[in-house]
Amino acid sequence: MSFLQDPSFFTMGMWSIGAGALGAAALALLLANTDVFLPKPQKATLEYLEDIDLKTLEKEPVTFKAKTLWENNGAVIMAVRRPGCFLCREEAADLSSLKPKLDELGIPLYAVVKEHVKTEVKDFQPYFKGEIFLDEKKKFYGPERRKMMFMGFVRLGVWYNFFRARSGGFSGNLEGEGFILGGVFVVGPGKQGILLEHREKEFGDKVNLVSVLEAAKKIIKPQTSASEKK
């Protein structure tokens, strides 16, 4: 057992343990930056979206079915992860840049939030140029809600998104729930269906604006009958 008294033996042992720990950390970091452990989104059906209860944000809120938003003209709808998040504000501003083109097409732009905290929605409105409603049951974030917890802070894509939004001059706060991931929908009128469903895979994973416009242009408006014209 004389080798136990050799200082080099302990040095080698500590080096091996350290190398093993570094290797494990590197592997964990690598896996965290793949999509292996990301929650897989479950596609929503039109029937699922139609039946969602939404509320207006007035002092005396009115409850209505979500299908009211798109049943006549279709709609573009943002499910906001957290109104105070600077990444969400960036995406809201991006979508709002499409509003002139959406107005030309006669398609409204809406947003839903999952909670109404302090002045968060009011502070969000300068970034979003459409009406905002409350989805208390968080149905627009389903059918199966997906969360990104602290793993998000070791993802390179998230850090890139942080720097992109900060460089664009966006700022925010930490008020409210921000782990349940959001998304963007383009829904056609009547039973035309869901034309685009973007599910945020990580913090700051924005929808492609070209895809939103392409989907919006596919919206088929109901034909007005001759009797209705009269």
Residues 60-76 have pLDDT tens digits of 999 999 999 999 999 99
The reply to whether 227 falls in a domain is no
Range with lowest mean pLDDT among 3-7, 139-143, 213-217: 3-7
Q: Are residues 109 and 15 in the same domain?
A: no
**Is residue 156 predicted with pLDDT exceeding 90?**
no
Q: How many domains does the chain have?
A: 2
Q: Are residues 24 and 101 in the same domain?
A: no
Helices (H) and strands (E) in the chain, counts: 8, 7
**Partners of 194 in beta bridges:** 187
Domain that holds residue 174: 46-218
Q: Are residues 83 and 112 in the same domain?
A: yes
Give the mean pLDDT of 11-32. Answer: 48
The reply to whether 52 falls in a domain is yes
**Is residue 226 predicted with pLDDT exceeding 50?**
no
pLDDT at 10: 47
Contact in structure between 190 and 222 (CB atoms under 8 Å): yes
Cα(230)–Cα(227) distance, rounded to whole angstroms? 5
Cα(36)–Cα(46) distance, rounded to whole angstroms? 28
Q: Are residues 24 and 66 in the same domain?
A: no
pLDDT at 8: 54
- Judge if pTM exceeds 0.75: yes
Nearest residue to 181 (alpha-carbon basis) of 203, 159, 164, 206: 203
In order of 35, 112, 156, the CA distances from 151 in angstroms are 12, 25, 11
Confidence of residue 17 (pLDDT cuts 50, 70, 90): low
pLDDT at 149: 79
**Is residue 227 predicted with pLDDT exceeding 90?**
no
The reply to whether 223 falls in a domain is no
State the catalytic residues.
85, 88
**Partners of 133 in beta bridges:** 112
Q: Are residues 131 and 57 in the same domain?
A: yes
Nearest residue to 86 (alpha-carbon basis) of 46, 126, 116: 126
Q: Are residues 60 and 167 in the same domain?
A: yes
Question: Mapping DSSP to helix (H, G, I), strand (E, B) and coil, where does residue 92 land?
Answer: helix
Q: Are residues 16 and 79 in the same domain?
A: no
Residues 83-101 have pLDDT tens digits of 999 999 999 999 999 999 9
Residues 107-138 have pLDDT tens digits of 999 999 999 999 999 999 999 999 999 999 99
